[in-house]
Amino acid sequence: MLYWTDLYLEHDVADEAMTVAVASAFGVPVAAVAVAPAGTQQAAEAYDRPTTRVLVQREPFLQPGDFPFRLSVVLKGDAVDLPVDRLRLIARALGVAMITDVETPSYSDEQWRLVAPDGWTDVVLVDSDDSDEAFTLTPETRRLLDAHTAPTQGTHLRQVG
């Protein structure tokens, strides 16, 4: 079986920290999680390895908006669900806010699941521009997120550029 979804992160995180956080959230060994650039031979090889249970593919470009870092998460075998509780664990471990379409009442371009670094989550409205896939928080949503963002956010930052 296979399950796939995208996560959009407010800031980037190091591959090592992502690997540990995802492994912990899914209760799998660190060796069962692979992080690779999307659409590369490295990602294809990681997916084909029988020991890989979760593949996190990093998009090679930054998107405009509040959530510029796109990750495609592929779950293999018996790790075929991605409930919000797992996203909360990942957000807390990494100190990062994210949006996703996981467990939203109905998929739309404006309605997304927001997960704050402290684990708080809600279905929120974001302004999206279909021409460039930018996701920008509405002012009200930004205030909600800021209230749930710890001042220690960013301890697992990844160098970009």
Residue 21 lies in a domain: yes
Would you report the helix, strand and coil content of the chain in percent, each value rounded to 5?
25, 30, 45
Contact 90, 17 (CB under 8 A): no
pTM: 0.81
pLDDT at residue 50 greater than cutoff 80? yes
Number of domains in the chain: 1
pLDDT reported for residue 104: 63
pLDDT reported for residue 154: 46
pLDDT reported for residue 140: 84
**Residue 104 sits in which domain range?**
2-147
Whole-angstrom distance, CA of residue 54 vs CA of residue 27: 11
**83/118: higher pLDDT:** 118
Residue 157 lies in a domain: no
Residue 34 lies in a domain: yes
Neighbours of 117 (CB within 10 A): 23
Mean pLDDT of the region 132-139:
75
